[in-house]
Structure formats: structure tokens, C-alpha cells
Structure 1
Amino acid sequence: MQFDLSLEALKTYLPLRTEPADFDSFWAQTLTETRKFDLNACFTPVACGLKLLDVFDVTFCGYGGQPIKGWFLLPRDRNGQLPCVVEYIGYGGGRGKPLDWLLWSNAGYAHFVMDTRGQGSSWQVGDTPDLEPEGSNPQFPGFMTRGILRPETYYYRRLITDAVRAVEAARANPLVDKNRVAVLGNSQGGGVSLAAAGLIPDLSAVLCDVPFLCHYRRATEITDANPYNEISQYCRNHRDKIETVFHTLSYFDGLNFAVRANAPALFSSGLMDEICPPSTVFAAYNYYAGEKQIEVWPYNHHEGGSTFQNIERMKMLSRLWQ
């Protein structure tokens, strides 16, 4: 059922943003520290039986210089540099196998898939451990509360930094047109795409579907579905840490990245989505500073538009990259 605000209310929903005064300096310092490490983007050809595509096993240095895995796929029949889609993965998933990622290279683009550190065991395998020992406070199972007592130690500081470096790694490949790079993802991948858009000023597009990691406090108040419920469970037990938790999360809130993003964006929301409630998605969308549009799927849950949304994504990239 539709449990959130009406669609008319969602279209104008602009909740008060909680933005720390040092938001920009926090991220500038984080990226500066990471860029002290060489990117070391390595693309190793792999044979996987795909006659029409070239596939590469990727390793690059993300947060703290730590190795992050990925896949790079592109059409074998190509002429010159290609536009590139950099994709981030949903919560709990990893990079899987090249056969899991055939859409964008078959559409004629280079496709860079970033593995998600520490994840890749819930629904699709991953190959990148989270090597950072910082966030060692007790946590609710999952990733939402790992290191949550300080923004410096929070898990998503590392993951979002990896995402920025993934764009840099894609652009380092001579087969990629550096001026035509888009970021894309569903759920957690959508939230990470939005963060990347707020931190990288010259992206071609942002394809941000049913985004997670937005408007955290409201999410914990209106849904008990995971992953947001991990935060609720933590706060239920650590009653004295609630404001500390939400202060940390303000550094990673999609609303605060949205006001800094300027690339053309395509969002989506399922009005029956109990995992990423519509008001959390529309809050980010309504604050988004660049050219934007949103596809609304009234009878869908967290799957959103699925293949129907992919059609809209392809239309947008075709228009931008024709």
C-alpha cells in the first residue's frame, strides 16, 4: 500500500536539512588525503566467452590507498573513445561476474562496475574486503552502524571516497571519453551516485534510482525495514547516542550532496517502497540543484521501474551523448 505522503505533497516536500558547518572541508580533506596515494588503476583482460565484448578485471586504490576491485566492459566493435557509465551496487551486493553486467556495454558504452568494500555476500558475491580498522565501536549487524559514532570512522566515508576514485579510475583508461562519464545505481548504488554527483563537479549525468542514504532520520521514523532499521535498532539500544548518530549521518545524507550536484539527473521512486520511502527520495530530488526529472512508479516497491526504468535511463543517455 502507499503509506507515505501523497504524490502532490511529495512534489513539494522540502524538509529542513541538517548540514554540519564543516561538511565541505570534511570531504575536501578526505579526498585530499586519499589522493596522496597513487590511483594505480590496473585493467587486466579476462576471457569469459563473450564474443562481442571486451572485459577487464579492474583494481584501483580507493580510500586510504586500499585496493578496490571492479569490472570494465566495452563493445569489441568500437571506434575511438567511448562514453562511460560508472555503476555502484545495491546494499549487500558485490561485483559478481561479468555476465551480470551486460546492458550498458551492449548499448555501446564503456561500463565500469565498482565492487563494494566489505559487502558482496547477501545477494551477489564481492571480492573487496573492508580493510579499514577504524570503526571498531559495537555495531548492529550490517554496515549502517559501522563506525557511526564519528564521521571520520563511519563506513560510508570509505565507500563514498571509493566511488569518487572509481570515476577517476574510469577516466584514467584511454578508451574512455573523460568528458562523457555518468554515474548510476539503484538503492545504495543510487545514494552513492548522488554522493558522487555532489563531490565531482563535471559529470555528464546521474542516474539515481530508488536512492538509499537520504533523509535518514525520517526514514528511521516511518519504516522498520532494513537497512534503515539497523540504525533504529542501534539507537534503541544506545539510547544516549542518538544525537551523535544523526550528527555523523548528516555528513553522508543525500540531501546535502544533492544541493551541490549540477549534472543532469534522472531519479525514480516506487510509491509503495518500504525500504527507501518515497518522501526520503523526493526530499533529495527536490533539493537537487541541477537539471532533473523523476519517474514515479505508483504500484511498485523497492524494485521501482526495473526494466521500464532502464528504458528511461537509455533514453536520457542517448539524448545527452548523441
Structure 2
Amino acid sequence: MSVPTTHPFAFDPTYGMKLEQLLAIAPPEAPPGFDDFWAERYRHAIAVDPQPKLRRSKIENPNWHVLDVTYISTGAFQIGGWLLLPRDQEVRRGLVVGHGYGGRDLPDFDLPVEETAILFPCFRGLSLSACPPIPADAGGHVLYGIEKPASYIIGGCVDDLWIAVTTLIALYPWLAGHIGYSGISFGGGIGALAIPFDRRIDRGHLVVPTFGHRPLWLTLPTVGSADSVQAYQKKHGSVLETLRLFDAANAAARIKVPMLVASALFDPAVAPPCQFAVANSLAKFNEIFILDAGHFDYVGSSEQNALLHEKVRRFFKVP
């Protein structure tokens, strides 16, 4: 391992913790009503008819048919994104891919999957799903509706993921029971919150997931979305009551399907203790892949990413 030792940040992105300490982090106690809150959201979300619309995209790729897609999520919110279909293979698996807080400008063409329809939704308020007055920047987006759990935008983004699954099944009914999820950073946190309550998702891959262990998330210095929430809390008072219902580590403890999680030892945007709180909460049969760093270029990143790429290929391989 070669964790970065020089960096431009005013704080230590390892938070003084080694791997052994990170692997010992447990999730906080879940708040009363956690399961009921999410079960009710899920019941509401799967009642939505997504009414997907497809059209040929201007984007072209030699290996994939690229389609622009829109669907309707909760609150009649229109979600935009892309659907990739393999040019020379039948479709036997579905995959929903979430994005980081930088949004998404294009689909990812080098995912190591075959015989798979890949749906790339842009979560509400971001990229193709931008919609004023929701701020399109991470620092503003993460605060939208934070005053109450029912209005918090993170819940809406989880709805968008669930309804992405509904959309794939509406388009390709034979994919029911064979749909996975992959998400990085923001998308990793959204995935951890969504997967345990949706039995239609049969496996998940999360990379440097955020929103884990909210009490820590609210206190550790960062250049990520937590920074604006920490500033908001100093001005307006505690938001922990809301955030405890959106703790990805508590949700991860409820996941029963196979998971592959990549967590970093050094990360200025998503504090490693919060990432490992998510990974450690999963059942022990799952795999934690250790990255030297996240949200930061480092020596050896190409080699580590190649190893992870191969694990992802095997993880989502069609039986």
C-alpha cells in the first residue's frame, strides 16, 4: 500500500487511522422508525408508473447501442439519463449505475459487464435531471429539504434508484430478479440506502460510499458534501435528527444480497471512517476491496483500479 503522504489539504485525509482501526468501526445505533420510514418510502415508490421514453442518442459507441431515456419518479419528477444495450449480445442482466456528486455528462462505456442493459439515471436535481430551484452543485443539493426527513432530497434520490429498477423491468420484463446496482461516492451512499429495501436488486457494488455513520460524518473535516452540512448546522442547529434516518451504515447492516465495496484509506471528500462504517456493516460473506486513496490521484491507482475492474467483471458476470 502507498497511501499519499503529501497533499494540499488543511487536514489529514486519513484522520490518523490505519486499516486495523478503520475495520473496527461499527455503525451508530439506528434511530427508532428507521425500517418503517424506508419501507413506506419504498411502497410509495414502486406504485409509480415510470412511463419510460427512449430515443436514439446522438452519442455513438462501437460496442453499445446508446439511447437517451427519461422516466417519471416520485412527485412526478422527470429523470433523465442513458440506456446502453450491447450491440452483439442478448440482454440477460440489468444494471443501474449511480454517479458521484459531480453528476454525469456521459454514460460509462468501459464497465466490465456483458449481456447487460445498463441504465445510467441522473438523480433528481443533477445533470440531465437538473430542476430549479434544486441547487445543481453538491454543496447546495445536499442541503435541499434537509429540515424534515419527508422533504429531504436524498430520499427522493433513493426513490429515483428504485424507479430506475422499475423502468428496466418495464422495458425488459425478463430481467426481474437479475438487476444489480453500482455506485460511487454519492451514488454509493444512495445505493447503500436503497438496496436493503428493494428485493428486486440482487447484488451491489459501492465505491467510496458516502453518508455512513452520520455522527462522524457531521464532525470530520472534508472538502466533500459534508462540509456544507457542517456549516449549515453551525448556523441553524443540529440536523442529526434528519440525517440519522439517512445513514448508509445503518442501511448497509440490513443488506442481504452479495456486495462488493471499495473503501479508501485516504479520502479528502468522503472520510474513510464513514466509508468503512458502511463496508463493515455488511454481512461478513461480502468483500471489502481496499484502495489507497479516493477522490485523489495517487501512485499505484492504475494497478489497484485494474484489480478492482476484474473483481467487478466477475461479480456481475451472467451465470
Q: TM-score, normalised by structure 2?
A: 0.85
Q: Which residue in the other structure is 2:9 paired with?
A: none
Cα deviation 1:119-173 (Å, max 9, x = unaligned):
2xxxxxx22134788x9xxxx9422221111101111011111111111111222
Cα separation, 2, equivalents of 1:9 and 1:111? 36
Does the 8 A contact of 1:39 with 1:62 survive in 2? yes
Distance 1:248 1:56, change over 3 A: same
Q: Describe the superposition over 1:75-128 as per-residue Cα deviations: whole angstroms up to 9, x where unpaired.
A: 11123x32122101100313x23xx42123874422110112212xxxxxx221
State the Cα distance separating 1:232 from its structure 2 match: 0.9
Residue 287 (structure 2) pairs with residue 301 (structure 1): no
Corresponding position of 1:123: none
Q: Secondary structure at the match of 2:270?
A: coil
Distance 1:167 1:107, change over 3 A: same
Aligned partner of residue 146 in structure 1, secondary structure? coil
Query: Does residue 1:48 correspond to 2:47, yes or no?
Result: no
Letter in 2 for 1:116: F
Partner of 1:219: 217
Which of 2, 5, 9 is residue 21 of structure 2 equivalent to? Answer: 9
Question: Is the 2:28–2:213 Cα contact (8 Å) retained in structure 1?
Answer: no
Q: Residue 29 of structure 1: which of 26, 37, 40 is its match?
A: 40
**Partner of residue 156 from structure 2, selected from 155, 158, 173:** 158
2:277 is the alignment partner of 1:265: no
After TM superposition, the structure 1 = structure 2 runs for residues 47-126 of structure 1, keeping only pairs within 5 Å, are 47-79=58-90, 81-94=91-104, 96-97=105-106, 100-104=107-111, 107-119=114-126, 126=127
1:61-80 residue CA offsets vs partner (Å, 9 max, x unmatched): 1121321112110111123x
Aligned-residue offset at 1:210: 0.3
- Which runs of no fewer than 5 residues in structure 2 stay unpaired? 6-13
Which residue does the alignment assign to 2:282? 288
CA–CA distance in structure 1, aligned partners of residues 74 and 84 of structure 2: 23
Equivalences for 1:200-279 in 2 at 5 Å? 200-238=198-236, 241-242=237-238, 245-279=239-273
Between Structure 1 and Structure 2, how many residues are aligned? 300
1:293 and 1:106 map into 2 onto residues whose CA distance is 19
% identical equivalent positions: 24
Q: Deviations over 1:29-71 (max 9, x none)?
A: 2233344432212222335333432122111111213211121
Equivalent AA in structure 2 for residue 296 of structure 1: I
Answer yes or no: is the 8 Å Cα contact 1:54–1:74 preserved in 2: yes
- Highest relative contact order (Cα 8 Å, sep 6+), 1 or 2? 2
Distance in 1 of aligned mates of 2:208 and 2:66: 28
Aligned residue number for residue 310 of structure 2: 311
Please say if residues 42 and 197 of structure 2, whose CA atoms lie closer than 8 Å, have aligned partners that are also in contact: no
